[in-house]
Structure 1
Amino acid sequence: MDLMDYIRSSPRTFIIAEIGQNHQGSVATAKELIKVAKDSGADCVKLQKTCAKEKFTKSALSAPYVGPNSWGKTYGEHKDYLEFSADDFLELQAYAKKLDIHLTASAMDEVSLKFLEDIKVPFIKIGSGDSNNLFLIEEAAKSGTPLIISTGMSNMQTIEKIYKLVSKYHKKFALLHCISAYPTPYDSVHLKVIQEMQKKFQDIIIGYSGHELDLHVTVAAVALGAKIIERHITLDKAQKGSDHSCSLEPNELQLLIKQIRDVELALGEPDKEIRKCEHACFEKLGKSLVYSKNLKVGHEIRKQDLKVKVSIPKGFDPLKYEEILGQKLLKDVVEDEAVHVKHHHSL
């Protein structure tokens, strides 16, 4: 069973803790974040893998990059500082395996895609920045490795194009509703897109990658049917870097996952029936049919002879009151006495 089959068949939401580049270029910090994700109950941690010269033009890499979040004088130096080597990835992959949590990465270019395929990650992520990169998406689809594709900065026509392209090769992929704003204002989230994607793409998994502040919108995405949830994580929101402010600190990640698991339990099944936990309340407050007045043996019961009250002991179910009408009493009864089958002919 590949990962997509597992996610599809599991009653549990698959939760990805997105480290991204919040590791600050430190393998040790990345390990801390992997441990946080595992301890919080996440299913997977995700990094980013980039070959800078494949993703960026020479002019983009040589552009000055100054500011509070910069790790270098140029954008190229900044990206190099935050990029893990192949050996770093293998070390982190081995660490995650030891902790029994999945580890993968977003492939930011075709060189990085090949690397991730070679180290056999459980799935490859295609980020929103590449939602219009049909070259990369097709190469990823050809590999046969399961894919999770974010759809930020895309309209439905683009998403349909992605769906058709990947479907030419396999159905082992998921689409995540996503808005690429950090943080995302609540009025820009549009969670109803999840339901629309579920209708349009019924044979694949639909999930949600959130960049909003707080937790409740992500929990609502689960209630709407998102089978995969992705949120950024950090050790400290105040750390240097543009993603930290809309990332979850360890206590928030733990609380989010608890809330998601609670909602999964609460969603339950679509069949409505009296649940075991309601029995005590029914015994205390559940209504019964009672007689509205004193009545003599042989009296033919009319609707005005009946009332519905809490009764001890319980009597006849008020939902079935029509079965009582027209029946003759076999005994005298008094006001407020609970109605019982044994009181009537033909019941």
Structure 2
Amino acid sequence: MDSFSNRISDIASTYGTDTIFILGKGPSADEVPSEVYAGSLVIGINDAERIYPADISIFYADWVKEALAKEGPRSRLYITSTDFKPTSGEVLHAPHASLTQESSDLMIQRLLSDEVVIEDVLFLTALQVARKVARQRGRRQTVYMVGFDFRAEAGNAQAIGRHYETDSADQRRLRIEMQENFLLNALYMLKDTEVDVVHVGQRPFSRLDSAELATEFLPDQHSDGRDWSVAVIAELTTNHFGDRGRLERMVRAAKAAGANFVKVQKRDVESFYTAEQLAAPYKSPFGTTFRDYRHQLELDRDDFAFLDTLCKQMGIKWFASALDEASYRFLLEAGSDAIKLPSTISEHTHYLETVAKTCDRPIVLSTGMTDKAFENWVLETFANSPELNLLQCNSAYPTPAEDCNVGVVRHYARLAKENPRIVPGYSSHDHGWFGSALAVAAGARMVEKHVKLGNTEWAHFDAVALDLTKSDFKDYVQKIREAEIIVGEEEKSVRPSEHHKYRR
């Protein structure tokens, strides 16, 4: 496999689904919830990545360079014929084949070849890339084309914001309207191939409209309006790898799965680790030392501002683990909805006392590697905290079944009856959903589960994290909600489903 195919394969392997989205800029793209894309490979045309962060963007026009330079790159890989040098993401170069009357047939022929050429009709190049992915995966892929309306007068999606195109209105109309015929030809040519191409829109050949696409990918599991009492935390840790586009996809996927919060981490790398630890060799894509690795994983001030804005837009809350005092102070300013104190710093009592005295928001505290004496100390030290979420936790990854001790959650629930500031919970380091569902039955009102975006060799807690590119975390949330329903209420009453078989 050549380097071109290798790089596409590396990106595609992040996802476990057999779906690919090709994203255009037509106004119908505004009608598709962005969560739809969260678990699938996304290929963007021109600067469509401004609608949703694409995995791969394809362009040849110089105006796209200007748009990406001013708006900031949001793709992992750019396929272009230009000299574009993004501040983030990689570049693969391919030749641009201009469309002429004589070359139109050749353009359709190239669609079925192994050669990747940047066509004037860019979605044809995107379909070439999709075919490569299908061959690499060894199975047929469903390719959804979103935002290709073929109506110049409709303009662009509002989500795109400022326009950078340099075409005149007439040029744009001719360019867009002639592309519909090329798509019809492509649909015919790609029948019974390794890709099943689904146009999303309102054209006669569209197989889905935007609403139907959303229903297919985001069936509403909570349409009964139930007020769920258990908060589900998608624990991202540092599995965003310091990549803002990856972070955004994880947040959107967690929200789509039904999470109430996403959680990240913050630490001061240079002071948290020893000089020897930081200088130690470490294999990762980010350098050769542990220092290189840890610095790459940290979100900076702008990243946290981005996270805060994104979560407000999405209607999901966020908070972070503060592993040292500098990070704690930073997170208070950054707007973290709560402060997490993880098991790893349970012996840092001076720092924990500082948080207890100064924190004005909920505390989430995991109790791995601690005992009854630590619990007593926590209850006394955090006596004035507005809310104290006590999460039963075992620090082993994965936690053996016999060490989960979900019964401790029942103990925390009893403490909560005596002191309403206490919220019982469970931080799951065990496999799957069963332990968390039992924790809900024991009284947990917060459950936390590690998540990741695909499989990598360096992901944090990879052995127990649920993959957001699959349905794993969505299934986990659903099991938690089923457990809530089954647990019901503590007060005994006659339920509507009951009736007496024998009456006097």
What TM-score bracket applies, with the shorter chain setting the length? 0.7 to 0.9
Which residue matches 1:336? none
CA distance in 1, matches of 2:365, 2:492: 36
Report matched runs for 1:196-215 at 5 Å: 196-200=411-415, 202-203=418-419, 204-215=422-433
Counterpart-to-counterpart distance in 2, 1:25 and 1:15? 23
Matched, 1:162 2:382: no
Mark the CA change 1:170 to 1:271 in structure 2 (over 3 Å): closer, same or farther: closer
Distance 1:162 1:271 in 2: 31
Partner residue of 1:258 out of 455, 472, 478:
478
Q: Which is further off, 47-56 or 239-248?
A: 239-248
Structure 1 runs not aligned, ≥5 long: 1-9, 288-315, 318-347
CA distance in 2, matches of 1:186, 1:36: 28
Residue in structure 1 matched with residue 255 of structure 2 by the alignment:
38
> Is 1:276 equivalent to 2:496 in the alignment?
yes
Runs of 4+ in 1 over 4 A off after TM superposition: none
Mapping 1:302-321, distance limit 5 Å? 316-317=503-504
Kept after mapping to 2: 8 A contact 1:238/1:245: no
1:278 deviates by: 2.9
5 Å matches for 1:120-159? 120-141=335-356, 142-159=358-375
CA distance in 1, matches of 2:495, 2:404: 35
- Give the distance between the partners of 1:96 and 1:40, measured in 2 at CA: 14
State the TM-score, normalizing by the size of structure 1.
Answer: 0.74
Is the 8 Å Cα contact of residues 183 and 246 (structure 1) preserved in structure 2?
yes
58 and 29 in structure 1: CA distance in 2 versus 1, 3 angstrom threshold: same
Alpha-carbon shift at residue 46 of structure 1 (Å): 0.5
Partner of 1:61: 278
The letter for the 2-side match of 1:256 is: Y
- Aligned equivalents of 2:338 and 2:378: distance in 1? 17
Distance in 2, matches of 1:278 and 1:180, equals: 44
CA distance in 2, matches of 1:38, 1:81: 25
Q: 1:83: which partner in 2?
A: 298
Residue 329 of structure 2 is aligned to residue 109 of structure 1: no
Q: Does 1:28 align with 2:248?
A: no
Cα gap change, 1:70 to 1:127, in 2 (>3 Å): farther
2:390 aligned counterpart, secondary structure: strand
Q: Distance in 2 between matches of 1:97 and 1:25?
A: 20
How far has the Cα of 1:197 moved from its partner?
2.9
Q: What residue is the counterpart of 1:249 in the other structure?
A: 467
Alignment root-mean-square deviation, CA: 1.9
Deviation, 1:11, is 5.4
Q: What letter is aligned with 1:218?
A: S
Distance 1:84 1:92 in 2: 10
Q: In 2, distance between residues paired with 1:274 and 1:104?
A: 40
Counterpart AA for 1:150: S
Aligned partner of 1:17 in structure 2 is 234
* Structure 2 spans left out of the alignment, 5+ residues: 1-226
Instruction: Measure, in 2, the Cα distance between the counterparts of 1:184 and 1:218.
Output: 12
1:222 to 440, 455, 459: 440
CA shift in 2, pair 1:194/1:37, >3 Å = same
Q: Which amino acid aligns with 2:262?
A: V
For residues 268-322 of structure 1, the C-alpha deviation after alignment (integer angstroms, 9 at most, x for no partner) is 223444432234xx5xxx23xxxxxxxxxxxxxxxxxxxxxxxxxxxx53xxxxx
> By how many angstroms is 1:199 displaced?
3.4
Kindly indicate whether the alpha-carbon contact (under 8 Å) linking 1:16 and 1:44 is maintained by their aligned counterparts in 2.
Answer: yes
CA drift at 1:196? 2.3
8 A Cα contact 1:65 1:78, kept in partner: yes
CA contact (8 A) 2:367 2:391 kept: yes
Q: Is the 8 A contact 1:110 1:136 kept in 2?
A: yes
Note if contact 2:311-2:318 (Cα within 8 Å) is conserved in structure 1.
yes
* Structure with larger Rg: 1
C-alpha displacement of 1:242: 3.8
- The count of corresponding residues between Structure 1 and Structure 2 is 272
Contact kept in structure 1, 2:392 and 2:427, CA below 8 Å: yes
Aligned to 2:340, the other structure's residue is in SS state strand
